[in-house]
Every structure is written in C-alpha cells, then in structure tokens.
Structure 1
Amino acid sequence: MRVVIFGASGMVGHGALRACLLDEGVTEVLAVVRKPLNLGHPKVREIVHTDFTDYSAIREELKDLDACFFCLGVSAVGRGEDEYTRITYDYALAAARAVSAASPSLTFVYMSGQGTDSTEKGRSMWARVKGRTENALLAMPFRAYMFRPGYIQPVSGTVSRTPLYRALYRVTAPLYPLLRRLVPNHVTTTDVLGRAMIAAVRLDGSGPSVLHNGDINRLGAA
C-alpha cells in the first residue's frame, strides 16, 4: 500500500505516520510537508510543498497511490470563518482534487471531528465548515471515509504542536484510562486513529462513509 499523508507534522498526522511505519502492508509513505521532517526512515519520502491550494508542481509524485490521509487542520479558536474555511475546506478540496486526478482509485480518509454539522446550517462555525468539507469530499469520485473522533489522547511520543493543548494533554493523560472506561465512544488515541485509517482503506469502500468515535476504536483495535 502506498500512502500520502497531509499534515504529518501535526499530532494526528504523526499518529497516522507512525501507524504506517509499523504496518508491514504499507510499503511507502509520501509526507507532504511545509518543512522537512528529517525522519530518515526507508519507507518515508518527504515532499516539501508550501502552497496547499495548488499541487500542480508535484502532480507526478501523486500517481499510483492507494490512500490519502488528510490530517491537516487547525483549531477554530481565534479565527474568523473566512480564514478557517480557507484552511479547512479549500486546502482539503485542493488536495482531494489533486490526488483524485493522479490516482483515481485511491481511498481518501479525512480527519473531521465529533459534532460536525452535515446540514451546514448550525450555529457552530467550525462544525458548519467541517460539514461542508465532508459533503464536498463525499461527492467526489473516489472511496472516502470521514473520521469524526472525539477527544484524542496523544500517545507513543506523539505531541501536539500547540502549547496550550500540550499542557492540557499532560494534565489529562493520567485520566485517560478512566475516560476510556466511562465514555469509550467519545475518546480515542493517536495510535488507534492511525491504525483505523489504514483499516478503513482495507474496507475497500464498504461500510458507512462517516465513522464516529466508536467505529474508529473498533477499526483501530490492536
């Protein structure tokens, strides 16, 4: 399996990358990044690219892929709707069009979020924009799965790039086993997410296209 990951330097993207490196069925990972990761792993080929609205310069690199894991995203906190839409919707659709044109038979996995608004009409700005993004991706001519995790606990050395979130995760880490027992359908880990993304590709288009936290945990169970 050849996989391209957008957002591999982020917390969720790092979880996806780690899962790919551990999975014997994944033979190559293309990491599209703004800055080099410098991993030096034989499975990983980094593609430094700065314009996430135009992938024409790397079109040839995106051929013969089996899967795309789109993990690039930002928090809506402190951002207006135009900026959040540009990063959330425009970037995702540009990547989807590029990989679909180059590798029409691939499976596209989009990292969305619990509470996403498929109607695109709710009060929550981020949920509307995520819903609009999901709907547009599901209308495209490839197999697609929308992941809607709840609380994500970083594990296995994965860390958030946001200082506030890093502090939050340090506080909540000891509580995660309790949360997992009390609300298992609302919490997951970066390791589980990564394994679930790979498992979704192997579904070969079967099952529901929108996967909630419980579905993700079942797919990613070790």
Structure 2
Amino acid sequence: MIIKWLAIMLTVVFALIIGFNVWGAATQGSLEPADNAERDTSANKVVMVFGATGSAGGGLLKAAVEDNEVEKVYVVTRRSTDYIASVEARDKVSVIMHKDFTDYSQLNSQLGEVSTVLWALGTSSMSVDAATYTLIHVDFPAAFVPVWLAARRAAGHIDSPMAYHFIAGMGTGASDAPWAHDKRQTERDVAAMAEGTGLRSFSYRSAYIRPISETTNIGHHITEVLLRPGKLVTSSKKLGQAMLEISARTQELPNGTLLDNGDSLAYTKAYLARGE
C-alpha cells in the first residue's frame, strides 16, 4: 500500500514538473538580443554589487569580478563571506562594510564613478514581517537611487550610460501577494527616478537561480536539471553576465524593461558568444 501511494505521489510530482516545463518553454523569452549589436565597452567600467552574501548576489559578484571590461568592483555589504574574502585581495575589488541601507551618504566618493549597479539585496517574505520586507525591497532601493544620481550629476556623468539591475523574481507581475506588490512598486519607482537621466533600470523576473559553485549542493543541481527544459533556471553567475551584457548594449533596451528567465538566458548566450 505504501509503495502504491509513493508511486502515485511520484507520478503527480513528475507530471507537475513536466507541465511546468511545458508552460515555461511556451511562455519564457520574448526579447531577442540584436546581432552584432553596438556595445559600449566602458559601460561596465565600475560596478557596484549589493546583496553579494546571498545565493543570487554571489554570482552577480563573480560575473563582475571575472569580466575583463570591469575595471573596478565595489561590494557593499553588512558582512563578508568566504567568497567575498577570496576576491577581496584582487586589485579591482573593494569591499565596503555598510550598516544603514537607508543612508548612502558615506558612498558619495565612490558613487560618482559607478556606472552599473547589480542589486540582489533582499530576503524571503517568509523570514520577515511585512513592514521589514517593504523596508528592504522598496525603501532601500528608493533611498539609494537618488543618492547615486546626485553623485553622478556632481561628477558630471548624469547623462552617461548607467544601468540599475534589480532581481524581482517570477510571479512579480501576476501575483496579488504583498511581496509581489512591493517588487512591482520598486520596478515603477526606480524607472520613474531614472527618466530624464542616463540611467536605465532593468527588473529580472527570474525563476530558479542556482547559487555559485562554491556554495551549491546536489539539491541545487538536481533542481537545475529538472527545470532546464522549460527555461526556468539560470545560474547566478549567468544572470550577472546577462546584466553586464545588457548594460553594454546601451542603445538596445529602454529604461524600465522587464525580463523573464528566458530573456536573461538569451542575453547570457550573447555574452558568452563574444568569448567564443
């Protein structure tokens, strides 16, 4: 009897996985990177990464550190990790310990030169109350962007290419849950603040994001294999590569563009194709 129920449960699980992949293959990916696109190789000259201690942010940092067009990487964080410590010794990496993410005045001297921001700062809605979730996902970005723009303006770079990349997550557009409302609010707020400047904001409504290899386990890899057919998985490093590619294509995507998992995979492919 137990074996029978286990067989039924496994059948249901696999049916759901297949259905999810079929849905993903049919719906993910509406943006196509332009062939032979014009790229501004200085667009990612100085990158600032937030949330590098997290499962997604670690890969964004890794992508920036390993990119030859990136000359300087600022890591803004409350604490370090083994991976952050391992790259901190590189000349191109500076780690800034920062406590108050509603006040960025101490970063003014660095922000004037920053052209690309990779923002992975966040937490699960199940781990904090609603007010704290809103503080982290709405108030923190809303406090940062004006300070960054002011620093760029003071440095004479307000009309130069800038890009703000924000991870919203799959379901942001469809769900009525409070977390999705907060993510949509940030998408709108940042895009509105960017209007009339050289800044473009991009929101990534990604599905499953596998952490960097230094922190993965077999469960991460099994999930990746199961969801890959439906374009429902990427790695955090590949997501970072997509962000850098989009930043460099300064004339291709407008401010406020929303990207699903298939879209980011397409730009990762374009990024990797340049190295072949």
For the criterion TM > 0.5, the same-fold answer is yes
- Name the % identity: 32
Distance 2:65 2:127 in 1: 35
Q: Does 1:131 align with 2:184?
A: yes
Give runs of aligned pairs for residues 9-28 of structure 1, distance below 5 A: 9-28=53-72
Query: Letter of the aligned partner of 2:265 in structure 1?
Result: N
CA shift, 1:42, in A, is 1.6
Secondary structure of 1:220's partner?
Answer: helix
1:115 and 2:158 are equivalent in the alignment: no
Tell me which of 263, 269, 273 is aligned to 1:215: 263
Q: How high is the TM-score relative to the length of structure 1? A: 0.87
Contact 1:3–1:66 (CA<8 Å) still a contact in 2?
A: yes
- Whether the aligned pair in 2 keeps the contact of 1:153 and 1:188 (CA below 8 Å) is yes
Paired position in structure 2 for 1:32: 76
Unaligned runs of 5+ in 1: 160-168
Whether the aligned pair in 1 keeps the contact of 2:246 and 2:253 (CA below 8 Å) is: no
1:144 aligned partner: 201
Partner deviation per Cα, 1:126-183 (whole Å, 9 max, x = no partner): 1111011111011112211111110112242245xxxxxxxxx6424134224212x1
Amino acid across the alignment from 1:117: G
Q: Residue in 2 aligned with 1:157?
A: 214
Give the conservation status (yes or no) of the 8 Å contact 2:56–2:210. no
TM-score normalised by L of structure 2: 0.71
User: Aligned ranges for residues 1-222 of structure 1 at < 5 Å?
Assistant: 1-36=45-80, 37-38=84-85, 39-103=88-152, 104=158, 105=160, 106-117=162-173, 123-141=176-194, 142-159=199-216, 170-181=218-229, 183-184=230-231, 186-207=232-253, 209-221=257-269, 222=272
Q: Is the 8 A contact 1:68 1:99 kept in 2?
A: no
8 Å Cα contact 1:143/1:205 also seen in 2: no
Specify whether residues 58 and 203 from structure 1 end up closer, same or farther in structure 2 by C-alpha distance, changes over 3 A only: same
8 A Cα contact 1:117 1:131, kept in partner = yes
> 4+ residue runs of structure 1 moved beyond 3 angstroms?
none
Cα distance per residue 1:183-208 (max 9 Å; x no partner): 11x21111211101111111215225
**Separation in structure 1 between the aligned mates of residue 268 and residue 101 of structure 2, nearest angstrom:** 29
Distance 2:191 2:103 in 1: 21
Higher-Rg member (1/2)? 2
Structure 2 CA distance for aligned equivalents of residues 14 and 172 of structure 1: 15
Alpha carbons of 1:80 and 1:211: their partners in 2 closer, same or farther (altered >3 Å)?
Answer: same
Q: Which has the higher contact order (CA 8 A, sep 6+)?
A: 2
* Distance 1:205-1:140 versus aligned 2 partners, 3 A rule: farther
CA RMSD of aligned residues (A): 1.8
Distance of aligned partners of 1:214 and 1:57 in 2 relative to their CA distance in 1, 3 Å threshold: same
Cα 1:135/1:34, change in 2 over 3 Å? same
**Amino acid in the other structure paired with 1:70:** W
Question: Which has a greater percent of helix?
Answer: 2
* CA distance in structure 2 between the partners assigned to 1:72 and 1:100 by the alignment: 19
Residue equivalent to 1:162: none
